[in-house]
Amino acid sequence: MTTPVIRSSLVLSRIPIVTPDVPAFEKAFYQYQEQLERRLMWTFPKWYYFKKGTVAEREFSKAQKYPIPNHRNVWFPKGVPDLKHGRDRRFKQDIILPKKNNDVEVSTTTDDGGESAASELQNLDDIGRPIKANSRITIFDEKNDQTSLERKLPRTLYLLIKNNNNNEWTFPSFEVSNDQINKGLHNIAEEGLRNIGGDKINTWTVSNTPAALIKHNNGINEFLIKSHIIAGKFNPTNKNEYKWLTKEEIQDIVSDEYYSKINHLLSQ
Amino acid sequence: MYTSRAAIRVVSHVKPTQQVRYKRDKTGLNPQLERIVSQLSVMSAGRKQPRLLKLCNEDYVKHKTVMKAWSHYRKAKIQENEKLLQKQYESMKEAVSELQNLSPELFEIANEHQYGKRFPLELRVPTEYPPRQIWFYDYFPKQEAK
Amino acid sequence: MLLPDSITTTKNSLVSFIKCQIRFAHKKVVSSKTHMQDSPGKRLGAKKYENHQVKIGQILYRQRGTKWYPGINVGIGKDHTLFALQPGFVKYYLDPFHPKRKFIGIALNKDDKLPYPHFEPTKRRLGRDVLDGKKAEFEANYLPRNVQILQPKINEELNKRIEKRNGKLLKFKDEIKKNFPNLSSSLTEEQLDLAANRLLSIDGYLRGGKSIDDARFSTTYYYIYDLKLSNKRNEISIDELNTKSSNYKEFASKIDSEIMFAPDFSLTKNLTFDELSSLKTKSFAELEKLIPDITKPINKKTKEHALSIINSVAFSLKEQIKLKRRFLKPTLPETNETIGNAKDKKVIAIQKMNIETRQVETIYRTKNAFLP
Amino acid sequence: MSSSVSRGIWSNFTNRSKSLAIKSAKLQKAVLSPDLPNGPVSLKALSSKRKYYSPIDLDKIYPLAYEILEKKSEKIYSKIEDLKKKGSENVEEINDLLVEAEINNPEVVYNSLYAANTIDLTQPVYRHYAKKQWESYNKMITMQRLETLSIIPDTLPTLEPEVDVHMKFPHNNVDTWVEPGSILSSNVTSKPPIFKITEFKESKNDLYTILIVNPDTPDVENNSYTTTLHWALKDVELSNNDSIIDIQKLDSNPQYSIVDYLPPTPEKNLGKQRFAVWIFRQDGKLNEETSKVENINNFQIREFVENNKLQAVGAHAWRSVWDLNVENVRKEYGLPAGRIFSRDSF
Amino acid sequence: MTLVSVRSFSSSVSLGKAACAQVKPVHHKVRIIKKNLSPRFPELKYPSHDIKSPKFRPYLTHLDRVDHHYHNVLESDLLLIGYRHGQQPIYGNKRRHWDMSSPYQINRPLRKPKGQIVPSQTINPRDTGNIAKLQSISINCFVKDAKQYPAMAIGATLQLQQITGVKPKPIYAKTNVPNWKLRPGMKMGAKVELFGRDASQFLSTLTEIVLPRIGEFNGISNRAGDRYGNIAFGLTSDHIKYFPEIELNQDSWPNLYGFDITLHTTAQTDADARILLSGLGLPFVGSERIPKTLLDDLTVHPYEN
Domain ranges of chain D: 9-118, 138-332
Mean pLDDT of the region C193-198:
92
Domain match, E206 and E271 both: yes
- Chain B meets chain A (3+ C-beta pairs below 8 A): yes
CA distance D146 to D153: 9
Q: How many CB atoms lie within 10 A of CB C35?
A: 7
Interval D243-263: pLDDT, tens: 999 999 999 999 999 999 999
A113 has pLDDT over 80: no
Q: Looking at CA atoms only, how far is residue B9 from chain E in angstroms?
A: 10
pLDDT of residue C4: 47
CB contact under 8 A, D140 and E32: yes
CB contact under 8 A, C130 and D340: yes
**Residue C302 CB partners (closer than 8 Å, separation 6+):** C290, C291
Residue of D nearest to C217 (CA): D248
Give me the percent of chain C exceeding a pLDDT of 70: 93
**Residue A177 CB partners (closer than 8 Å, separation 6+):** none
* Residue positions counted in chain C: 372
Residues of C in contact with A73 (CB under 8 A): 351
CA distance C169 to C196: 6
Query: Are B130 and A154 contacting, i.e. CB atoms less than 8 angstroms apart?
Result: no
C92 has pLDDT over 50: yes
Q: Would you tell me which residues 48-107 of chain E have a C-beta closer than 8 angstroms to some C-beta of chain B?
A: 49, 51-52, 54, 56, 60, 65-66, 68-69, 71, 73-77, 79-86
pLDDT of residue C170: 94
Interval C237-287: pLDDT, tens: 999 999 999 999 999 999 999 899 988 888 888 888 899 999 999 999 999
Q: Which of C161, C128, C135, C158 is nearest to D324 (CA)?
A: C158
Residue of D nearest to C228 (CA): D333
What's the CATH code of the domain at E170?
3.30.1440.10
Q: Which of D268, D188, D277 is nearest to D230 (CA)?
A: D277
DSSP string, A91-129: S-----PPP-TT-EE----TT-HHHHHHHHHS-TT-TTS
CATH number for C45-107 (one of 3.40.50.1110, 3.40.50.620, 2.40.50.100, 3.40.50.970): it is: 2.40.50.100
CA distance D304 to D318: 22
Residues of E in contact with A206 (CB under 8 A): 77, 80-81
Domain match, E99 and E183 both: no
Q: Which of C262, C245, C260, C273 is nearest to C176 (CA)?
A: C260
CB contact under 8 A, C355 and A78: yes
pLDDT of residue C22: 66
CA distance C310 to C317: 10
C150 has pLDDT over 80: yes
CB contact under 8 A, D60 and A28: yes
Domain match, E117 and E141 both: no
Confidence at E10, pLDDT banded by 50, 70, 90? low
The CATH class of A5-18+146-265 is: alpha beta
Domain count, chain E: 2
**Residue A137 CB partners (closer than 8 Å, separation 6+):** A110, A111, A113, A153
pLDDT of residue A106: 45
Query: Are D177 and D167 contacting, i.e. CB atoms less than 8 angstroms apart?
Result: yes
Residues of E in contact with B89 (CB under 8 A): 79, 83, 127-128
Q: Which phi-psi region, left, alpha or beta, contains residue E222 (left: φ > 0; alpha: ψ -120 to 50)?
A: alpha
pLDDT of residue B49: 92
pLDDT of residue D2: 53
Q: Which phi-psi region, left, alpha or beta, contains residue E41 (left: φ > 0; alpha: ψ -120 to 50)?
A: left
- Chain E meets chain C (3+ C-beta pairs below 8 A): yes
CB contact under 8 A, C119 and E27: yes
Residue of A nearest to E249 (CA): A49
Query: Are D203 and D240 contacting, i.e. CB atoms less than 8 angstroms apart?
Result: yes
Fold of D138-332: Phosphatidylethanolamine-binding Protein (3.90.280)
Confidence at B56, pLDDT banded by 50, 70, 90? very high
A119 has pLDDT over 50: no
Confidence at C185, pLDDT banded by 50, 70, 90? confident
**Residue A134 CB partners (closer than 8 Å, separation 6+):** A115, A116, A119, B129, B130, B131, B132
Out of A99-103, A172-176, A247-251, E184-188, which region has the weakest mean confidence (pLDDT)?
A99-103
Q: Would you tell me which residues 53-92 of chain E have a C-beta closer than 8 angstroms to some C-beta of chain A?
A: 56-63, 65, 68-69, 72-73, 76-77, 80-81, 83
- Chain B meets chain C (3+ C-beta pairs below 8 A): no
Interval C213-233: pLDDT, tens: 999 999 999 999 999 999 999
CB contact under 8 A, C233 and D334: yes
Q: How many helices (H) and strands (E) does chain D have?
A: 11, 9
Return the domain boundaries, chain C.
Answer: 45-107, 148-262, 273-327, 336-369
B146 has pLDDT over 50: no
A213 has pLDDT over 60: yes
Domain that holds residue E100: 90-123
CB contact under 8 A, B109 and A182: yes
pLDDT of residue E106: 78
DSSP string, B80-135: HHHHHHHHHHHHHHHHHHHHHHH-HHHHHHHT---TT----TTSPPPBSS--SS--
Residue of B nearest to D70 (CA): B69
Measured in Å, how far apart are chain C's first and last C-alpha atoms? 137
Query: Are C97 and C103 contacting, i.e. CB atoms less than 8 angstroms apart?
Result: no
CB contact under 8 A, B134 and A201: no
Confidence at E165, pLDDT banded by 50, 70, 90? very high
Residue of A nearest to E84 (CA): A209
Query: Are E258 and E140 contacting, i.e. CB atoms less than 8 angstroms apart?
Result: no
Q: What is the mean pLDDT of each run of 10 residues along chain D (346 residues)?
A: 77 91 93 93 90 94 96 95 88 93 96 92 95 96 96 95 95 85 95 95 93 95 94 94 93 93 94 96 90 91 94 96 93 93 82
Question: D66 or C2, which is more confident?
Answer: D66
Mean pLDDT of the region C301-315:
89
pLDDT of residue B12: 38
B92 has pLDDT over 70: yes
Residues of B in contact with E81 (CB under 8 A): 114, 117
Mean pLDDT of the region C154-158:
94
Q: Please, which contacts does E111-116 make with residues 24 or more away whose CB atoms are closer than 8 Å?
A: E114/E304
Question: C315 or B72, which is more confident?
Answer: B72
pLDDT of residue B20: 47
Query: In what helix (H) or strand (E) does residue C89 lie, and over which residues does it extend?
Result: strand C88-95
Residues of E in contact with A44 (CB under 8 A): none
Confidence at B145, pLDDT banded by 50, 70, 90? very low
Mean pLDDT of the region B102-116:
88
pLDDT of residue C299: 85
CA distance C194 to C173: 10
Confidence at B24, pLDDT banded by 50, 70, 90? low
Return the domain boundaries, chain A.
Answer: 5-18+146-265, 21-98, 100-135
Mean pLDDT of the region B108-118:
89
Residue type, C42: K
The CATH class of D9-118 is: mainly alpha
Report yes or no: A239 at the D interface, CB cutoff 8 Å. Answer: no
Confidence at E4, pLDDT banded by 50, 70, 90? low
Residue of E nearest to C94 (CA): E104
Q: How many CB atoms lie within 10 A of CB D88?
A: 12
CB contact under 8 A, A34 and E61: yes
Domain match, E108 and E147 both: no
pLDDT of residue C349: 86
Q: Where are the alpha helices (DSSP H) in E11-96?
A: 34-37, 65-69, 75-82
Q: Looking at CA atoms only, how far is residue E11 from chain C in angstroms?
A: 21
A118 has pLDDT over 80: no
pTM for the model stands at 0.88
**R_g (Cα) of chain E, nearest Å:** 25
Question: B22 or E182, which is more confident?
Answer: E182
Domain match, E234 and E110 both: no
Interval A33-45: pLDDT, tens: 999 999 999 999 9
Q: Looking at CA atoms only, how far is residue C293 from chain A in angstroms?
A: 24
**Residue E250 CB partners (closer than 8 Å, separation 6+):** E241
Beta strands, E only, chain E = 3-7, 12-18, 134-142, 169-172, 187-195, 220-221, 230-235, 259-265, 284-285
Confidence at C124, pLDDT banded by 50, 70, 90? very high
pLDDT of residue C314: 86
CB contact under 8 A, A68 and C358: yes
CB contact under 8 A, D72 and B72: yes
Mean pLDDT of the region A187-216:
90
ipTM for the predicted complex comes to 0.89
On the 0-12 / 13-18 / 19+ scale of CB atoms within 10 A, C292 is exposed
Report yes or no: E246 at the B interface, CB cutoff 8 Å. Answer: no
Confidence at E305, pLDDT banded by 50, 70, 90? low
pLDDT of residue B27: 62
List all chains that touch chain A, counting a touch as 3 or more CB pairs closer than 8 Å.
Answer: B, C, D, E
Distance (Å) of CA D2 to CA A78, D5, D7, D38:
22, 8, 13, 10
Q: Identify the three-state secondary structure at position A236.
A: coil
On the 0-12 / 13-18 / 19+ scale of CB atoms within 10 A, A217 is exposed
Report yes or no: B118 at the E interface, CB cutoff 8 Å. Answer: yes
Interval E177-208: pLDDT, tens: 888 888 999 999 999 999 999 999 999 999 99
Domain match, E115 and E140 both: no
Q: Looking at CA atoms only, how far is residue E188 from chain C in angstroms?
A: 39
Q: What is the mean pLDDT of chain E?
A: 90
Residue of A nearest to D56 (CA): A35
Q: Would you tell me which residues 19-48 of chain E have a C-beta closer than 8 angstroms to some C-beta of chain C?
A: 20, 22, 24-25, 27
Mean pLDDT of the region E241-258:
90
Mean pLDDT of the region C114-137:
92
Domain match, E183 and E288 both: yes
Query: Are E217 and E239 contacting, i.e. CB atoms less than 8 angstroms apart?
Result: yes
**Residue A258 CB partners (closer than 8 Å, separation 6+):** A168, A170, A214
Q: How many CB pairs under 8 A join B and D?
A: 65
| β-strand pairing of A5-14 with A220-232 | parallel
Mean pLDDT of the region C347-368:
87
Residue of E nearest to C76 (CA): E18
Mean pLDDT of the region C61-83:
94
List all chains that touch chain E, counting a touch as 3 or more CB pairs closer than 8 Å.
Answer: A, B, C, D
Question: In this complex, which of A15, A30, A209 lies closest to E73 when CB atoms are compared?
Answer: A15
C371 has pLDDT over 70: yes
On the 0-12 / 13-18 / 19+ scale of CB atoms within 10 A, C336 is exposed
Q: Where are the alpha helices (DSSP H) in chain C?
A: 5-19, 133-141, 145-179, 181-185, 189-207, 212-232, 238-258, 273-290, 300-310, 317-327
**CA atoms within 13 Å, Cβ hemisphere of C15:** 6
Residue of B nearest to E50 (CA): B64
Please check whether residue E180 lies inside any domain of the structure. Answer: yes
Give me the percent of chain A exceeding a pLDDT of 70: 88
pLDDT of residue D48: 92
- Going edge to edge, which strands form the sheet with E259-265? E169-172, E187-195, E134-142, E259-265, E230-235
List all chains that touch chain C, counting a touch as 3 or more CB pairs closer than 8 Å.
Answer: A, D, E
